Structure formats: C-alpha cells, structure tokens
Amino acid sequence: MREYMDEPVPPHVAEAKLVCLNLRTKNAFGANVGYLPWQTGESGTGTYWCLKTMQTAGPDDGLVHPQECKSSRSCYKCQEE
C-alpha cells in the first residue's frame, strides 16, 4: 500500500482497471491514503457480483472476482466496447 499519493503506482494496481465492465462490488470501508482501487481484489471486506447474472458466478459459471474477471473469460466485456 502506498503511504503517499506521489509514490509510483505498483504494476498490479496499474493493471487493475482491466476487469470486466459487468463486475461490481460493495466494500465496507471507504478510501484512505494509500487506498488500493477495488479492481485489485485486495479488500478483505469486498463482495463481488456480475451484472449479467446478479450473482457471484458469471454467465460461464466461473467465480466473480477482480482477479478472475479478465479478458481470458468468454463472458468478459472490455472497457473499449
């Protein structure tokens, strides 16, 4: 976790925005200094669901999580569409 906002962004945080557009979450806590984006999947209090199924499994019956909802999934919807 970054202590100061002017520190370099770690590579796993920079890639975090590449999750499926149908992935949603609700976290128990808000943003703090050094907060990691929800797309990293690092939260211990986050719950995730898919907008296509409204469940914790996607249309391909795979687990819904930021580390799982990537372009390798058949149900993935990219940011550019």
pLDDT, tens digit, 9 for 90 and up, residues 23-77: 998 876 655 555 667 777 777 778 899 999 999 999 999 999 988 998 999 999 9
Look at residue 32 and tell me if it is in a domain: yes
pLDDT of 2 above 50? no
Residue 63: the pLDDT is 94
Domain of 38 in residue numbering reads as 1-68
Residue 62: the pLDDT is 96
pLDDT, tens digit, 9 for 90 and up, residues 28-37: 665 555 566 7
Say if residue 42 is exposed, middle or buried (CB neighbours under 10 Å; 0-12, 13-18, 19+): middle
Q: Which among 6-10, 17-21, 26-30 has the top mean pLDDT?
A: 17-21
Look at residue 38 and tell me if it is in a domain: yes
Q: How many alpha carbons fall within 13 Å on the CB side of residue 63? A: 6
Look at residue 61 and tell me if it is in a domain: yes
Total count of domains within the chain: 1
